[in-house]
Structure 1
Amino acid sequence: MLLIVSSEVDVGSNAAPQFVTRIGGRIRELRKQRGWTVQQLAEASTVSRRMLTQIELGQANPSLATVDRVARALDTDFAALALPDGDAAGVETEGTLVWQAPGGSAALLLGATLDPRAELWRWTLAPGERYDAEPDRPGAQEIHHVLAGRLTLALETGPRTLGPGQSAVIASDQQYAYLNDESEPVVFMRVVTGA
């Protein structure tokens, strides 16, 4: 099932509060459905009990990788925790603002498929900004397609720079980062598979 969504979002200076509140509530609900304590989820996800409590209360701004680890421990995926209700039915939405930085950078989760698992993202990186990602599961990949500006992918094998209209596939089971070393924002699409 493919979820079709579109977006244009203006972001502020902090993490998206709706996203933080949504994932916190869903994590708490799934944890309770399993009959787990916060400590049991902490052990299964390798996320601290304190951090999980703050996430559940909507008081923490967890990294994308932290949310992914918790989702896996609960036998679900990042998109199931992050996307608003209704997206599972293929309803068009504006996407979900998942990450933002004070300089205007933002990551918007546009939609996801269940089988095979894939996520579609639209990213904007302001000039001089960087996003450091944590490695995904072994075999995970990302496809990047630059719409505007120049994106530098900092990979273990060295940097790779893409301009408008260029695409690249990378293994995301490594340390990597997205960088904008230019004076204009970079806007790119990101497809994640196998994460």
Structure 2
Amino acid sequence: MTKIVNISTDPNAHVQMVSEAVAKRLKEARKQQKISLDELARRANVSKGMVVEIENCKANPSIAILCKISAALGLSVADVVNVASSPTVRLIEAQEIPTLWNGPEGGTARLLAGTSGPNMIELWKWEIKSGEFFESSSHPAGTFELFHVEKGTLKLIVDEVELIINEGCSAIAKTDVPHQYVNGGKGNLIFTMTVAELHK
């Protein structure tokens, strides 16, 4: 049975718990698929040292690195952090929802729920403080993101195309190219995002 990550309100304990869950899940998946560390590193296009550090719980991987390694194993990020749905209906308690990004001014990105990979859908809640931004590398081909801004202004930059999404507005973007989420205003930016990665 998969262990449920119980997130503490202490940010340091939270990071440690997520790191431990990620390390365990990735190592289990790699061994089940009989993939060597070298082969996983090659498939994910990350260094073997990084894979080893993640599996030994000595690294706190970025969302981009998690995406690459998860995809190389045929998993979603939600599978790895244990918020993917497996039964027909599953409740994810508030304390189980992991924070996978912390901005320098206190912003957060939380993976609220997701389906199992490789075809997957994820639901995220972002809060980006004034002056913060998040930069992402390309996602796999066929990835789309849907946005709805609840508060503030989101400046979305996708492959050098800039889109301003004001409070109450929504947008869709193909994100198989480098992209950024930037707080385009002076106050807090809060938005929800759905990521859909569909393989033919």
Q: Is the shorter-chain TM-score for this pair beyond 0.5, marking a shared fold?
A: yes
SS at match of 2:43: helix
> 2:31 corresponds to which residue?
32
Alpha-carbon shift at residue 167 of structure 1 (Å): 0.3
Alpha-carbon shift at residue 84 of structure 1 (Å): 4.9
1:149 and 1:188 map into 2 onto residues whose CA distance is 9
> 2:191 corresponds to which residue?
188
**2:86 matched to 1:88?**
yes
Matched-pair contact (CA < 8 Å) for 2:76–2:116:
no
Alpha-carbon shift at residue 135 of structure 1 (Å): 0.9
Paired residues for 1:32-111 under 5 Å = 32-84=31-83, 88-89=86-87, 90-94=90-94, 95-111=97-113
The superposition leaves residues 82-135 of structure 1 with CA deviations (integer Å, 9 ceiling, x where unpaired) of 1258x5341232222111123111110000134862100000001000100111
Call closer, same or farther: CA 1:14–1:186 in 2, change over 3 Å. Answer: farther
The superposition leaves residues 46-68 of structure 1 with CA deviations (integer Å, 9 ceiling, x where unpaired) of 21110001111222122212111
Alpha-carbon shift at residue 165 of structure 1 (Å): 0.8
Call closer, same or farther: CA 1:73–1:156 in 2, change over 3 Å. Answer: closer
> 1:4 corresponds to which residue?
none
> 2:176 corresponds to which residue?
173
1:11 and 1:188 map into 2 onto residues whose CA distance is 24
SS at match of 2:86: helix
The superposition leaves residues 152-195 of structure 1 with CA deviations (integer Å, 9 ceiling, x where unpaired) of 10122521111111000001111110001322110000000016
Matched-pair contact (CA < 8 Å) for 2:106–2:129:
yes
Query: Could you say what the CA RMSD is over the residues aligned between the two structures, in angstroms?
Result: 2.4
Matched-pair contact (CA < 8 Å) for 1:12–1:100:
no
The superposition leaves residues 23-58 of structure 1 with CA deviations (integer Å, 9 ceiling, x where unpaired) of 111111111222333222212222111000111122
| Structure 2 residue runs without a partner (length 5+) | 1-7
- Identity, in percent, stands at 26
| Structure 1 residue runs without a partner (length 5+) | 1-8
Per the normalisation by structure 1, the TM-score is: 0.86
